[in-house]
Amino acid sequence: MEDRLMVSVSGVRGTIGGTLTPHIACDFGLAFARMLKAGAAGARPTVAVGRDTRRSGDMMFNAVAAGLTAGGVDVIDLGVVTTPGAALATSRLKAQGGVVITASHNPIVYNGIKFLQPNGAGLAAPAAQELKKIWEAGQFDLSAVENVGVQRAETRTHGWHVDAVCEMVDLKTIASRRFKVVVDSINGAGCAVTRLLMEKLCCKLDQINGEPTGQFAHTPEPIRENLDQLCQAVRKHGADVGFAQDPDADRLVVVDENGVFIGEEYTLALATAFALSHRKGKVATNLSTSRMIDDIAAAAGQSVVRTPTGEANVAAAIIKHGCVIGGEGNGGVIDPRVAPVRDSLVGMALILQYMAQTGKKLSELAAMIPHYVMVKTKFPCPAGVAPAVAEALMREFSSRKDAAFNTDDGLRIDLPEAWVNVRASNTEPIMRIMGESKDQAVVDALVAQVRRVADAVIASAD
């Protein structure tokens, strides 16, 4: 697979020892400092910086912090924290911006830099583009010695995070059930804070891969093929539910009481079903998330706002439309009462309260949601080819009068019997195809047709 530095609305991603070097990280720190100072009206900005447990995290933190302080920005070192924890701390500390050193679900060879607004949300697309232009131009402002930024440490993030999550749920109701919970924390940033949350919720916790070493026990993306250990542990311990986090603990995947992986799309669906059962309002999600969300919202008399893929896009829609909940079908739940980012702790708390209030098992709650079959595939894609793939697909499906096209995020094609979305990833040098239908054969055929067209375009571009 091609190794290239990814710079997008999702931040910066690259390989350590490859495309993401300390020099690049320092330059991005300088670029962020210049951008923040331009809007600071003479005051010295402060940036809160957290990181996940990757071995390269300290190195990347030091490089980014060097750029920020050299550019005249003070740095608050949050240490090893979750991405939602860093977002919450950025807001609580009234910082002018935030940074998280993480590559989220990517393999250990990767690391990344995610930039946050003062409210904790990721940079909106225009700001992300501005930051990229400053970095590409390399025109940084180095501060004189008397104006160089300073660093200080902040250790309260985990406590703030747990308290904020607990404030939005009924602790007494959850605690009364004394749930048995297994959590796979992948030796990532969620290890310690998850234990604190489960203690507050009076759950009996069996945590696997619960030491924050950064030595991931399996491929870190929380999808079915990587979670055999969790499924077996749920069955072994007779647990009520199993949860899997990714390395920065913003994504959450759920395993039912039978040790059955029920699909990453169900995380947001279950949380939304519970949220809309007692709160009324719109829901925001991206264009590649399951139609389950539309069905759940419609049953509650509510509507769904669809956005391009990217957490920052969903968060912006939540804020703009006053949504009560939102997120992405990759296991990302956003509750704006905590922070405008995906949050595995929020997902756990909402699902546990749903189980507690209804008295139903997780498998029963999942069975209440209209079922679809979703197929997700990915493959290497050269830079700049995605628009040509979209054009070829529009020609391919132009003869179908019942086809609707949406180009807000790559290309989404809606048909009466199914939908498919094809787009270039924001975080990896790949293209993703996602399709959904109530019929396995229909979605398999649709995804295969799209893949054939994409392969032909890519082959002609080589």
Q: Which positions are catalytic?
A: 104
Return the number of other C-beta atoms located less than 10 Å from residue 151's C-beta.
12
Q: Residue type for 359, please?
A: G
Helix (H) or strand (E) holding 440: helix 440-461
SS3 label, residue 184: strand
Q: What is the DSSP letter of 9?
A: T
CA distances from 330 to 148, 221, 250, 376 (A): 40, 10, 10, 11
The H-assigned helical ranges of 104-181 are: 125-137, 157-167, 171-177
SS3 label, residue 249: coil
**How far apart, in whole angstroms, are the C-alpha atoms of residue 125 and residue 386?**
19
- In our burial notation (b when 16+ CB lie closer than 10 A, e otherwise), range 34-61 reads bbbbeeeeeeebbbbbbbbbbebbebbb
* Alpha-carbon torsion angle 154, 315, 422, 104, nearest 10: 10
The candidate with the shortest Cα–Cα distance to 197, out of 78, 82, 102, 98, is 82
Under 8 Å CB-to-CB from 244, ≥6 apart: which residues? 183, 184, 186, 222, 227, 230, 252, 253, 254, 255
